[in-house]
């Protein structure tokens, strides 16, 4: 099975009033038809990594290094024209807040139709037909009447469904989802997750799903990459991470959520706060918060230890002597 997404040694640095090394030496692969979850707390670099895949970061303040291949195309080397054709057709994104992503002065139907006309060269009538088809596919009630609705006239759940319809209208090969259920209530959240999983399987898409909620990741992901301070600290199959997380940060995330913890048990917290990222990492970024940290953890970057096929842990404790329970 070939890779739909292949990222090697990705780094993203923002410059301006202060420098931020937001992503550092990130490598990941997503196979065709696979769902990868990027899991971590706010500020870990998940959304920046996602936007780098589509080159959606501000040009003047951003320096991107490494290699990004999406569907066999070198994204970093693309010019503006190639990027315009690439976005929406090859890869598409669902944003966390659709009110900020959808144009408030155009109807939902017009926005979907415009995307189809632009990428596929069909007539406006055919674009409107596709728009109606997609609104029905994402189960928006009275889809025909919603074609002429503006974003502000829809509920949060309906807007997110419309955002999904827009993202999938041109049948992209890869879907990027940036915490698309965070702003929704629990009932609507599970409906959207089930809908995304169903459409992903139906269209045969690959997907990268950003979340800070392990419970959400369990519902939709095949594999997980845990991010901390701009780096992937552990990656592997969902069941392996959930049952046997090896990095102390991944263990902390699992221990701090109700998912999988017995009722009545006390949830743990991870002490301290993430680093500022004003300098590139020269040691383990998690060491100041880690109860297992050794002297070497504060002196040099941790090794990326391969534990098996597509299973990696960036920690000295994952080396042969093992990780404390």
Q: What is the pLDDT along the chain (325 residues), one digit of tens a residue?
A: 679 999 999 999 999 889 999 999 999 999 999 999 999 998 999 999 999 999 999 999 999 999 999 999 999 999 999 999 999 999 999 998 888 889 999 999 999 999 999 999 999 999 999 999 999 999 999 999 999 999 999 998 999 999 999 999 999 999 999 999 887 888 888 999 999 999 999 999 999 999 998 889 999 999 999 999 999 999 999 999 999 999 999 999 988 876 655 666 677 888 888 998 999 999 999 999 999 999 999 999 999 999 988 999 999 988 876 444 4
Note the Cα 29 to chain centre separation in Å. Answer: 13
DSSP 302: P
Is the sign of the CA dihedral 9, 14, 15, 20 positive or negative? negative
CB contact set of 42 (below 8 Å; sequence gap of 6+): 212
DSSP 261: S
**pTM greater than 0.85:** yes
Q: What is the pLDDT of residue 100?
A: 87
Domains of the chain, start order: 3-90+172-318 (3.40.50.300), 97-171 (no CATH)
User: Taking CA 279 as the corner, what is the angle to CA 273 and CA 280, rounded to the nearest 5 degrees?
Assistant: 100
* Tokens found for residue 286: 């998690």
Q: What is the pLDDT of residue 321?
A: 60
CB 13 within 8 A of CB 218: no
């Amino acid at each position: 099975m070939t890779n739909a997404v292949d990222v090697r040694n990705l780094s993203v640095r923002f410059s301006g009033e202060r420098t931020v090394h937001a992503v550092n030496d990130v490598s990941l692969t997503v196979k065709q038809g696979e769902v990868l979850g990027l899991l971590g707390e706010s500020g870990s670099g998940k959304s920046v990594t996602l936007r780098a895949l589509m080159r959606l970061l501000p040009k003047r303040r951003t320096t991107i290094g490494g290699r990004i291949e999406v569907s066999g195309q070198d994204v970093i080397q693309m010019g503006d024209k190639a990027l315009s054709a690439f976005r929406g057709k090859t890869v598409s994104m669902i944003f966390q807040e659709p009110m900020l992503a959808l144009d408030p002065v155009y109807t939902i139907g017009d926005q979907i139709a415009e995307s189809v006309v632009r990428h596929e060269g069909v007539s406006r009538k055919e674009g409107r037909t596709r728009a109606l088809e997609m609104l029905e596919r994402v189960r928006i009630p009275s889809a025909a009447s919603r074609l002429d609705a503006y974003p502000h006239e829809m509920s949060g759940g309906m807007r997110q469904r419309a955002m999904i319809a827009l993202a999938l209208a041109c049948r992209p090969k890869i879907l990027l989802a940036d915490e698309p259920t965070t702003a929704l209530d629990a009932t609507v959240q599970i409906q959207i997750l089930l809908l995304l999983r169903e459409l992903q399987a139906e269209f045969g898409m690959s997907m990268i799903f950003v979340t800070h909620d392990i419970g959400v990741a369990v519902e939709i992901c095949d594999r997980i990459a845990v991010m901390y301070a701009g780096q992937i600290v552990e990656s592997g199959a969902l069941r392996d991470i959930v049952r046997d997380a090896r990095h102390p940060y991944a263990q902390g995330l699992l221990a701090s959520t109700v998912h999988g913890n017995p009722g009545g048990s006390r949830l743990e917290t991870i002490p301290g706060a993430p680093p500022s990222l004003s300098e590139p990492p020269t040691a383990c970024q998690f060491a100041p918060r880690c109860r297992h940290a050794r002297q070497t953890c504060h002196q040099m970057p941790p090794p990326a230890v391969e534990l098996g096929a597509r299973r990696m842990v960036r920690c000295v404790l994952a080396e042969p002597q093992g990780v404390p329970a």
